[in-house]
Chain A
């Protein structure tokens, strides 16, 4: 057996896949070759270091971090998620169109929010414009009375 084969045989021995015949040849070679005995010693130390556990622990907040992320992720293969996001996107586009179409096609280049609303209600006073009241969710139903769709009303609160 040649010296150049020794490391391969040592690796196979370590993995428990060295045949008895090859093991015999390896041992015979090591018995008469000091350089390879040295290699075998070092090899043993390399493998010991590799097998040794490590002291480093995962970061303490890792479990929490993972759980937080997992809770935020959409349901894996459940179509439920897209089920509502698609109509919501369509809704959003419609709202944008409702709000900004008059700006593009109306007689004037720019319309204020109030002017857009005027398309829905004649008397803006009733809607609360013109006074300093701060609107709450409760006002949504007020808008709807004037024929303003709830999606638009939400934007006005």
Chain B
């Protein structure tokens, strides 16, 4: 997948919808899957993805073209996710059944779906401030340094949150049956 070029970014900043479409198409999967890890539910992840891109569109004037676009984008999206987690009154019940879009043919695939679901359920049991880090690290493949930048916290804080977060996730995941 090619990345978004500078001329596309210039057009995007000028409000060009075609450029915006390219950006959405390029990043929607990542943002959606980040949303899945943060919120656990497909509906909410889709809602979050929509809000995230609208926020990006709205704030496009604030992006500094001299800096990496992806960092800016992830930062805006992470802040939005954090706000959303904060505003949520309670953690959803996690009773979402495994997705039934297409009946999985192979047993392997079914097992993977079950694992995916259990991961999302376990993440919901982890404190939001740890969950955010886990979602960025394992959903967006960011390294600890990038996370510090995007989350606006020190590298030391990232490290301690992440080791606590991993431990908390591990316990929650095993409590749900592990595998």
Contact = CB atoms under 8 A, between A and B. Distances in A.
Interface string A119-149: 0000000000000000000000000000000
Interface of B: 15, 17, 20-21, 24-25, 28-29, 32-33, 36, 42, 45-46, 49-50, 53-54, 57-61, 99, 101, 109, 112-113, 115-116, 118-119, 134, 138, 144, 159, 162-164, 166-167, 169-171, 173-174, 178-179
A63 B25 contact: yes
B28 A11 contact: no
Range class of the A interface residue count: 35 or more
Interface string A25-40: 0000000000000000
Contacts of A70: 17, 20, 53-54, 57
A50 B138 contact: yes
Majority secondary structure of chain A interface residues (helix, strand, loop or mixed): helix
Given A11-B163, A11-B167, A75-B15, 16 more contacts: A7-B167, A7-B171, A15-B159, A42-B170, A42-B174, A43-B170, A46-B169, A51-B138, A52-B115, A54-B116, A56-B32, A56-B42, A58-B45, A58-B49, A62-B46, A62-B50
B114 to A, nearest CB: 10
B163 A12 contact: yes
Q: Which of the listed residues B113, B115, B116, B167 has the most CB atoms from chain A within 10 Å of its own CB?
A: B167
B173 A46 contact: yes
Contacts of A47: 166, 170
B170 to A, nearest CB: 4
Contact of B134 (A50, A52, A62): A50
Interface string A43-80: 10111011111111111001101110111010111000
Contacts of B174: 42, 46
Contacts of B170: 7, 10-11, 42-43, 46-47
A47 to B, nearest CB: 7
Contacts of B49: 58, 62, 66
A71 B21 CA distance: 11
A73 B36 CA distance: 26
Contacts of A15: 144, 159, 162-163, 166
B60 A52 contact: no
A56 to B, nearest CB: 6
B32 A58 contact: yes
Interface of A: 7-8, 10-12, 14-15, 17, 42-43, 45-47, 49-59, 62-63, 65-67, 69-71, 73, 75-77
B112 to A, nearest CB: 7
B47 to A, nearest CB: 10
A42 B138 contact: no
Nearest first, the 9 A-B pairs at minimum CB distance are A11-B166, A58-B32, A11-B163, A46-B170, A46-B173, A66-B53, A54-B116, A7-B167, A70-B57
